[in-house]
């Protein structure tokens, strides 16, 4: 099996640890264990004593009941048997594609999106068709284009809602139309929902798993819950076939998730409302700062995101996005993500959900750098 290099992850691996101002980060400002304890209202001494007494076995192979109960509360119709724990959303995406897609299948994937959604099925030899999300459409999919791309051979449609990197958000009506298109060719819909809930406006975003009998939702504790260090994710689907196939394939590469990771994730999910309230406040405050900054930059433009933690900044300079980002890193110790990591140019991805002070200082350094390009 040959697979293309994972551009965005390789970029982050190369530069992230050396950056002073990390405005490429996609997680909402991470929380500490002490902060998690404070939110939970648990007695820290009693809680940590329970943890110290736990025997470090494999734990529950399919995912601990407490963790799965917590995940179910994020959906309308999911039960514990509809949830399978994974090593982050990256593990969930891989497991779904690895379990369902064969070389004879067709796959449709939006672009830009997380590269797993098109490079993994491509590596299996599947016929991958790209549905491009364009700025002139506010990075929403053209459903007529989707209809033209699917056929009786289409096994799965891969979408991402809210979208990474653009921050676009598909409303329920559009999701229902996508479901009807998929149902017409008996295809699955895999929706990467790692940013679901991080909306700029107060409204509930439905999951594909609650809208379609062959819908597959993937998410994690990393973005919305600020706990990337736990490496916990999950697959949610009403389809028994999906659950069975994923569990069978999972035996070959996982066995189980870490027992401590599941315990702490379950604690966080018990307090999901508190964490979400904290994180919505961060992204809304920080987007206001970013929006003002963009309005003051004559060479920068963007489509203001509706959800998530990222946006695409388009620039009016004749320089490849990777070269621009490397130069920015070397001169100002600021990291952004090149548009080339998403098969785009003349733009960069910014993550605006970091600590507010870091965002403000990073934008100040970025503005200084831009002046050198004039």
* pLDDT score, position 285: 98
Task: Give the neighbor-by-neighbor strand order of the sheet with 83-86.
Answer: 83-86, 233-236, 215-220, 188-192, 154-160, 106-111, 127-132
- pLDDT tens across 310-332, in order? 999 999 999 999 999 999 999 99
pLDDT band for 223, please (50, 70, 90 cuts).
very high
Whether the CB-CB separation of 274 and 241 falls below 8 Å is answered with no
* Angstrom distance (rounded) from CA 315 to CA 317: 6
Q: Which residues contact 317 (CB under 8 A, 6 or more apart)?
A: 299, 324, 373
Number of C-beta neighbours around residue 162 at 10 A? 27
Q: Work out the widest C-alpha separation in the chain, in whole angstroms.
A: 61
Given CA atoms 93, 112, 175, 268 in this order, what sign does their dihedral have? positive
Given CA atoms 212, 217, 223, 224 in this order, what sign does their dihedral have? positive
Number of C-beta neighbours around residue 184 at 10 A? 12
- pLDDT tens across 90-143, in order? 999 999 999 999 999 999 999 999 999 999 999 999 999 999 999 999 999 999
pLDDT band for 82, please (50, 70, 90 cuts).
very high
> Mapped to the 3 state alphabet, what secondary structure does 190-257 carry?
EEECCCCCCECCCCCCCCHHHCCCCEEEEEECCCCCCCHHHCCEEEECCCHHHHHHHHHHHCCCCCCC
């Amino acid at each position: 099996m040959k697979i293309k290099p994972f551009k965005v992850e390789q970029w982050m691996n190369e530069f992230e640890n050396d950056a002073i101002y990390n405005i490429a980060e996609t997680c909402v400002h991470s929380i500490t264990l002490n902060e998690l304890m404070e939110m939970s209202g648990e007695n820290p001494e009693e809680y940590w004593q329970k943890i110290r007494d736990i025997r470090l076995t494999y734990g529950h192979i399919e995912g601990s009941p407490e963790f799965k109960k917590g995940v179910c509360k994020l959906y309308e119709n999911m039960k514990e048997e509809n949830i399978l724990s994974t090593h982050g959303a990256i593990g969930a995406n891989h497991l779904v594609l690895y379990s369902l897609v064969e070389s004879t299948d067709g796959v449709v994937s939006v672009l830009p999106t997380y590269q797993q959604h098109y490079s993994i099925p491509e590596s299996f030899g599947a016929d991958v068709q790209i549905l491009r999300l364009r700025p002139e459409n506010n990075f929403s999919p053209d459903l007529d284009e989707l209809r033209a791309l699917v056929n009786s051979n289409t096994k799965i449609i891969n979408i991402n809602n809210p979208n990474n990197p653009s921050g676009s958000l598909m409303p329920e009506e559009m999701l229902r139309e996508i479901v009807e298109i998929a149902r017409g060719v008996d295809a699955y819909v895999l929706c990467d929902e790692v940013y679901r809930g991080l909306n700029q406006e107060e409204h509930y975003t439905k999951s594909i798993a609650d809208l379609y009998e062959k819908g597959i939702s993937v998410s994690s504790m990393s973005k919305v819950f600020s706990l990337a260090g736990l490496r916990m994710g999950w697959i949610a689907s009403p389809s028994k076939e999906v659950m069975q196939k994923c569990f069978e394939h999972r035996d070959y590469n996982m066995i189980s998730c870490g027992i401590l990771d599941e315990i702490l994730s379950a604690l966080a999910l018990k307090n999901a409302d508190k964490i979400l309230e904290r994180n919505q406040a961060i992204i809304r405050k920080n987007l206001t700062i970013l929006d003002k900054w963009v309005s003051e930059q004559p060479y920068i433009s963007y489509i203001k995101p509706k959800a998530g933690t990222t946006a695409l900044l388009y620039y009016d300079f004749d320089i490849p996005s990777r070269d621009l980002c490397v130069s920015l890193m070397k001169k100002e110790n600021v990291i952004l993500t090149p548009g080339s990591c998403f098969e785009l140019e003349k733009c960069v991805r910014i993550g605006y959900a970091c600590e507010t002070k870091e965002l403000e200082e990073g934008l100040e350094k970025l503005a200084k750098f831009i002046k050198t390009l004039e």
